[in-house]
Every structure is written in C-alpha cells, then in structure tokens.
Amino acid sequence: MGSDIYMNALCVHDWKKGWPLRSGGFAQLCTKCGFMEEWKHGILDPLSAYEMSVFCDKFHRQKTGWVECKFCNKPIHCGCVVSRSLFEYLDFDGIGCVSCVASQLHMQMRNTENPNGSISSTKNNASDQHPAHIDGTLFVDSVDDGKLMQLCRIVEATESSHWNNPQRDSTISRSGQNSQEVKCSLGEGDTRFPNVIKPSVQSPTFSKLENNRSTWEIKNIHESTAQPSLNGNPSGNSNVLPSSGEFVDGRLDDKASPLFHQGQRFRPILRKPSKTGISMDLETDKGTLSHARIARPPAEGRGKSQLLPRYWPRITDQELERLSGDLKSTVVPLFEKVLSASDAGRIGRLVLPKACAEAYFPPISNADGLPLPVQDVKGNEWTFQFRFWPNNNSRMYVLEGVTPCIQAMQLCAGDTVIFSRIDPGGKLVMGFRKASNSIDTQDASTSAHSNGISTKGTTNSGGTENLPSGSSYADILQSIKGNGEPHLNGHPEHLRLGAGAAGLLNTENCEKTNNHSPQQPIPVSEKKRTRNIGPKSKRLRIDNEDAMELRLTWEEAHDLLRPPSSVQPVIVTIEGQVIEEYEEPPVFGKRTILCVCSSGGKVQWAQCDDCSKWRRLPVDAVLPPKWTCFENVWDACRSSCTVPEEVSSRELANPLIPNKDFKKRRTLENGKSIKEHEPSGLDALASAAVLGENLIDPAELSAGATTKHPRHRPGCTCIVCIQPPSGKGKHKPTCTCNVCMSVKRRFKTIRLRKKRRQSEREADAAAKKDHNHGRDKSEPNGTSKSKDNTIHSEKEGGLKGQPEVGVSGAGQVYLNYYANRAATQMDIARLSMSINDLEITNHQVSEYMNENGLKRFNSEVQASQHSSLLTQSNGEGKEYLPVLKGEQSQNNLS
C-alpha cells in the first residue's frame, strides 16, 4: 500500500517539457513521477517557474510561500521549483521538512498495515474519504484498479528563487535527500490517495471524495476529465485561513491549500516581484488568500487544452458551491468572457471565443447554427442562436439574441459572462460577473480572511495590469477599501448569483450588500461598467444620486474651463474651424465678465463668491474657481466684502448678468422658443436646407435640445446633429436627400466663406505688417479685422502668453476665445464703458458663427452691429446666439 506521506514529484524539467503541452495536448507525463493530469491544467505558462507557481495552483502554490513544517513548525520556504528547499508535501495536507517527513514516513511505513494508524487516517472521516487531498496530490497517469500509484519524491528545488525572500529560512537545510524518491503503491480502494486522479474514468475512489471536494472538483471528477483538482481541497477545513493581512505569495488558494486545512499557518512572505508581462491574473496575488478567484482551467471539452487562460472561469470554490447549491445541481464552469462593446451592444451578438464555442457548445456545421437554450443564474430560460460565420478560413462563433439576457442581467461592456454547465443534463448556464471597477473582494463574512482582488472588468487577459507590480498587499487592501466601494457592485442578487461561474461571484461588497440589505437593488447607473480597462485615462464615474448635483451641463462646464494660463495654444484649423490645442488640460476658473471702459481700456469683472459684489480686475487676471474680495490683490481698496461695488449692482445687473439670472433668462427664453418654434433638429435642418445661406433667426434655432444631443438645440447644424442618424453607410456620396443636400450646401458655403476670410486675414496681416507694427492692440480697429489679426498673430506666435479666459455669465461655450482677442475686439469696436450700454455684438456672433461654419447671419447683419459686452467665454456658440440676442433686445428695450 502506499504511503500517506509522499513527496511531491519534482520533475522540474519535466514540467518545463510539459508546459507547451497546454496548447497542444497535455498528455505528457512527468517522466519521474507520473503526474500528468493535473499538470496539463495546473501549469499554465512555461515562461518561468514563477508562473508555474502561479498557475499550478494545486501543486505549487504551496511551494511559493513560507510555511511551517507540520511537524516541527520550522518555517520552510517553498519556492516552487526554483527553490531547492527541501520539503515534502503531505498527503494529508501540509508540508513537512524533510527530516520530519522522513521520520514520519518511517512511522507511516510501519503503520501501513494498520491504516487506522496512519497519519492520514487520523483525520476526520472526511479525511478518511479524502485524506490525501493535498497539494502534493499524487496523480497517476492511470489508476489501475488494483493499484494506484507510487512515486513520492522529495522536492528538490532551487533555493535561489528569483523572488528572494528576505525571510528565507535559513533553517532550510539541504540534505542529500534531494533526489529521494519514495514509491508508494496503493491498493485498490485505498482512499488515502484520493487525489490520485484517474485520467479518464471516474473511479469509485472519486465518488468517495466528492463530498469533500469542491463542486468544481466534483465536477471535474464527474467529468472524468482529469480535470485537476486545481482548487485543492475545498472541503471546508478552512477554519484556519490566512488572515487578511497575511499574504502568501501567490498561489495559495484557500481551500486549495492543504496547509490551511491542516491548520498550518502561513507566514507572510514577500510578494514576488511582479513579472512584467506575466499573464497572470491579479488573483495570483490575491490568490494567496482564501477564496481567491483563480482562473481555473475549464472542464473538459473539445480543445479545452487550448483555451486561453483569459477564458478560464474565475470562480472560487465557495462561489461554485453556493451556485451549485442555488441551482441544486452540479455546476461546471466552462469559460468566461469579458463583454466587449459589441457583445453588450444592441446588436445582440455575443462573440464567442472560438475555442470555447467549439469546446463546450454543440458542434455545428451549418452556419445557421442551432438554438441553444441557456439558463441564467436566476433561472430564466433563454434561447440563443448559436451559430458561426465564416471568417478568414475559420469560424467566428456568435451567440445571437443575447440582448434580452444581457439586459436582464444589466450587463454592459466590461462585465463578464460566465458559461457553465449544469450536470447532470449538460444544460448551459450563463452567469455573469460585474466589472466592479477592477476591484472586488471575496465574501468577507464567509471568508473572513480573504481579500481576494479580482480584476473585474479586466479579466480579459490576466489582469495583472491592474495590480501595480510593486503594490503590497496592504496596498491592495487599501485600494479595496478606499477605492472600490463607490462602484462596487451592485445588485446583490447579481452579486450572489451572478458573479460566479454561473454568475455566482461575490465581491466583498456584494456580500456585504447581501448581508446588509439583501435584494436591495442598486441604481442601474451603478451597474454600468466601463469597458476599457487599461492605460486609458479614467474618470471617476459620478452617476449616483449623490453626485447629481455635481453634474454640469456642457455649457456650464465650459463656463468653468479655462485654458491653462501658462500654456500657449497651438492654433490649428480643422475643417475650417480654428481650434486651440493645449498640451495641458483645461483648468477650472471663475467666470468673469470682460468689458471695455469708456476710455477704451479693458477691464474684467468678477463677482465675489461671498458677498456677490462685482470687482474690477485686470483683464488678464485669472481667478480660481472660488474667489472672494479678499483675494482681490489688484485693488486693495476693494479687497474686502465690506467695500461697496464700484458700480451699483443695479448697473451691473443687466450687462453683467450673473450667471443665475442669465441662465434663468436664457432658460426662459429658450422655453419660449421651444414653445414657439419647437423645431426638431431635423426641422431645423430642413429649414437650413431650404434657406441655405439665408439668415436664420437664431432664436428659432435656439429652442430645446435635440433628440440626438441634449446639449444641442434644434437647428444646431453641427456635424453631430446633422449627420445621418444611422451613421455611416446610409448615404452615398451621390445621395441627394435633404440632409445630404443641406450638408453639402453648408459645407460649400463654409468653404467659400472660410476662403474669403482667409484672404482677408492675409491681406489684413500684410497691411498691418506694413503700417501698423507698433500699434497698440487696444487701438480701435476694424471689427473683423482685429480679430483676424489677433488670430493671425496667434498663429505667428505673437499671442500673449496667457490665453486668458474670460467667461461670461452666459456660460457660452467658446473654446477658442482669448481674452486678449476679446479685448482686441472690444477695442476695435470702441465700445462704450458704460455697462448699461453694453451690447452684444452680432459681429462677434457672426465671427463665431463663421469660425464654426455656421451661417446664421448675413454679412450685413454682421457689419451693422456692435456691442460692448464681451462675454469672454469659452462659449458655446450655439446657445450663445439666442441668448445674446435676447439680452440685446432686452437692453434695447430698457
């Protein structure tokens, strides 16, 4: 009979040889120990021993940390294969140093004839049934009914792991037992080697084990897939789990770790240096903890060995068990996939990984495929069309009709769907896991020590990127606490049922949610997940109700956005539009109003946030978002809120319309416009098409938001609003529909006008160069010329360093607006200093319109109007017009 103690076969080199087999067949056995079945899945990547240790989560996770000898409690560094620590895996879980193991082995050998006296048999009943579920589980290539296998070996590993652990145990001794090999044989029915996996046929031995094995393993066994018990023994002897603060490098799957079952305490070890490019999941780091979400090689299937790890379902045994319990069936995780935008889109087509489709879905020869009933984790039945398209001499498998299901589960791009199978019956189950902003943790209640972090939403390929290589476990925890909460998922039900292999994935948050407020739905918005995870810039999503007040409209935002004061923009022209480009992002600034005094000087007005008094500022002053009189460093006399305004509020009221008033008025007018005109975007477009170059009353175009773009108004002729609703491909170049014709007309006009303006600019620039080099910019000029000159000077780099941003209270969005340009315009216009006389110049408007390709005013109107109110702004031109006009009208009336 065999020994309860056997040394895990080492076969470092055989491992190496075995690695490539993962993609091309995995039947190669360890020539030294005969291990095979587990290897093929347990070992994922041949790149390094580290990766081995990462992925060989059953065999080698224990080798990568500091553990204690079960017998003498001496720390042992188990550095996977590169560590030459001498240790031995105990079939009853745990690791022992060679000396202890030797003695125990000896004792065991003596007890062989008395199984009850064996070490393993001293375990509980469960252990009796599954006594040897250890990481060093003995696997045999085949299990003869009469004899199991043999082969125990003392691990010989190189001490010099590349992830040197300062805590490296000096006590680890090298003995001459490195190559010690003990062969053990098991008699039939010997259950002391339950992990001896019979590769192809379920044996009674396995049945015995099932109760003690995770569902996963059970399933694997059911599958008789030689599916490795990668998860180790989930049998529940997990009462001794590593504390959350303990971080054992890598691969300590909770249940997987026999050590835990044995009550072994894992000592924290240093994290191995992250290996760039290692395609391992974050879980490999978190995986040291209980219930780590380790990507599991899927159950058997055609081509399973070629399944990319990214598709390996990541589910903890616990989750799996729970799911199985929920479904009252054995659930076999098959594969998972992160939903792409296409998958989650309205098309309703979920692209299936080819290997997965071919491995786990019914074979189809007809491109039409076949209907595939799938049950979701709630028990709903769905029928998808499983089919394929020919693609590059290959096939592209898709599930069609998934939209209802996706929506029902409230999934979006970035979330993960997990296909599992219910046995018996083979029914497919589609679970899901929300992309919880890349952080999720395990059930705190059920696995108090676990703090697994999964790369939710980034599970696509390992997800190592989500964990900074240098981040410590504490960092991780911190990140969990400080980071995840706001967006950690959601729907408890989903969390419980939906997040795992059949959707049963529980984030810590989820569990907490469950615990605290079960069935409490979360806002849909919170269930949204970003799709792109990676290097792209991200913004904290503010979608919940608490943040509603933070939401700004587009124009409001632009009211606040200022170009960085120290940055010189690069002026570019895109499709006729002059655009400022900044290397730095805009900053938030306080809205001000730029005026021209009677003397022709420029002045900027800002309102104190405390007393609401208006203060005069230099035109180039840039204010922070919050500004008070006390910060008025330019006018010491009025650096206090107690000092009255230079101009009365009444005087200021009209021209310097504070934002609120302005907005109210604007809103009111807009409302009127909406009521009066209420043209749809299409109507406006049609009008534009009809009127062509003719003037369109801006007011008519100022009404409510279009259906396409809430920030745009009917009549908005921006490219967004006028584009065919169905996007590309709807209109041919020769299309003569109204939309196309109007667009053509508009662009034609834009081109012509742009060309004309460009000529004017050039002429002006030349003239100015010749005659007016030293002219003060404040000196009056022709209206349009001045601006053109300004622009030109900008192009020549003559721009004043600060693209100062005056912002009007109107909140106009005019991104390409310089303060000095505005000032120049004002100068040129010789505007009155009297604020009450401030007007909005349609010239400016028209300039803006011209620059933006909008043909709202004819040239006569442009030339005839002047204004003195310069709403220095990042202005949103489209709303600018009606508002200004309204203001002007009001002023005129007054």
Q: Give the interface with DNA as residue ranges (CB under 7 A).
A: 22-23, 279, 308, 310-311, 337, 340-343, 346-349, 351, 353-356, 367-368, 387, 389-394, 396-397, 400, 413, 461, 531, 682, 724-730, 737-739
Compare residues 387 and 746 and give the one whose CB is closer to DNA. 387
Give least dist CB 272 to DNA, A. 20
Which residues, other chains included, contact 676 with Cβ-Cβ below 8 Å and sequence gap of 6+? 703
Compare residues 141 and 336 and give the one whose CB is closer to DNA. 336
Give least dist CB 836 to DNA, A. 47
Give least dist CB 726 to DNA, A. 4
Compare residues 348 and 803 and give the one whose CB is closer to DNA. 348
Give least dist CB 411 to DNA, A. 13
Backbone region of residue 206 per phi and psi (left: phi > 0; alpha: psi in -120 to 50; beta: other values): alpha
**In this structure, how many other beta carbons lie within 10 angstroms of the beta carbon of residue 523?**
12
Which among 151, 123, 119 is positioned nearest to 29, based on CA atoms? 151
State the number of CA atoms in the 13 A half-sphere of 632 facing the CB: 27
Give least dist CB 725 to DNA, A. 3
Which among 182, 178, 208 is positioned nearest to 195, based on CA atoms? 208
CA 196, CA 181: separation in Å to the nearest integer?
17
Compare residues 534 and 774 and give the one whose CB is closer to DNA. 534
Scanning the structure block, which residue is given the tokens 């949103």?
876
Compare residues 403 and 479 and give the one whose CB is closer to DNA. 403
Give least dist CB 463 to DNA, A. 11
Which residues, other chains included, contact 821 with Cβ-Cβ below 8 Å and sequence gap of 6+? 787, 790, 791, 794
Compare residues 408 and 767 and give the one whose CB is closer to DNA. 408
Which element (helix H / strand E) includes 373? strand 370-376
Q: Judge residue 138's burial from the number of C-beta atoms within 10 Å of its C-beta, 0-12 exposed, 13-18 middle, 19 or more buried.
A: buried
Compare residues 258 and 369 and give the one whose CB is closer to DNA. 369
Compare residues 153 and 337 and give the one whose CB is closer to DNA. 337
Give least dist CB 432 to DNA, A. 15
CA 542, CA 423: separation in Å to the nearest integer?
42
Give least dist CB 357 to DNA, A. 7
Compare residues 389 and 630 and give the one whose CB is closer to DNA. 389
Give least dist CB 730 to DNA, A. 7
Asked if residues 32 and 12 have their Cβ atoms less than 8 Å apart, the reply is no
Determine how β-strand 427-433 pairs with β-strand 370-376.
parallel
Asked if residues 674 and 704 have their Cβ atoms less than 8 Å apart, the reply is yes
Compare residues 367 and 752 and give the one whose CB is closer to DNA. 367
Asked if residues 673 and 666 have their Cβ atoms less than 8 Å apart, the reply is no
Determine how β-strand 349-352 pairs with β-strand 394-400.
antiparallel
Compare residues 199 and 414 and give the one whose CB is closer to DNA. 414
Question: What is the CA 55 to chain-centroid distance, rounded?
Answer: 24
Compare residues 12 and 685 and give the one whose CB is closer to DNA. 685
Asked if residues 885 and 840 have their Cβ atoms less than 8 Å apart, the reply is yes
Give least dist CB 18 to DNA, A. 13
| Residue 664, both tokens | 């109210």
Scanning the structure block, which residue is given the tokens 């002059």?
578
Q: Is the dihedral of CA 647, 650, 653, 655 positive or negative?
A: negative
Asked if residues 509 and 482 have their Cβ atoms less than 8 Å apart, the reply is no
Give least dist CB 334 to DNA, A. 13
Compare residues 178 and 306 and give the one whose CB is closer to DNA. 306
CA 14, CA 28: separation in Å to the nearest integer?
9
CA 179, CA 86: separation in Å to the nearest integer?
10
R_g (Cα) of the chain, nearest Å: 36
Give least dist CB 790 to DNA, A. 38
Which element (helix H / strand E) includes 662? helix 659-676
Which among 156, 136, 291, 158 is positioned nearest to 216, based on CA atoms? 291
338 φ/ψ angles, rounded to the nearest 5 degrees:
-75, 130
| Residue 397, both tokens | 């498998």
The type of residue at 91 is: D
Give least dist CB 87 to DNA, A. 31
Asked if residues 405 and 532 have their Cβ atoms less than 8 Å apart, the reply is no
> Could you tell me where the beta strands, DSSP code E, fall in 634-735?
none
Q: Per-residue DSSP letters for 754-777? A: HHHHHHHHHHHHHHHHHH-TT--T
Give least dist CB 394 to DNA, A. 4
Which among 88, 33, 82, 38 is positioned nearest to 58, based on CA atoms? 38
Backbone region of residue 786 per phi and psi (left: phi > 0; alpha: psi in -120 to 50; beta: other values): alpha
CA 14, CA 139: separation in Å to the nearest integer?
15
Compare residues 243 and 340 and give the one whose CB is closer to DNA. 340
Compare residues 729 and 797 and give the one whose CB is closer to DNA. 729
Scanning the structure block, which residue is given the tokens 């460093």?
633
> Could you tell me where the beta strands, DSSP code E, fall in 455-591?
561-562, 570-574, 577-581, 587-588
State the number of CA atoms in the 13 A half-sphere of 723 facing the CB: 9
Give least dist CB 271 to DNA, A. 23
Give least dist CB 228 to DNA, A. 18
Give least dist CB 260 to DNA, A. 31
Give least dist CB 141 to DNA, A. 23
State the number of CA atoms in the 13 A half-sphere of 724 facing the CB: 16
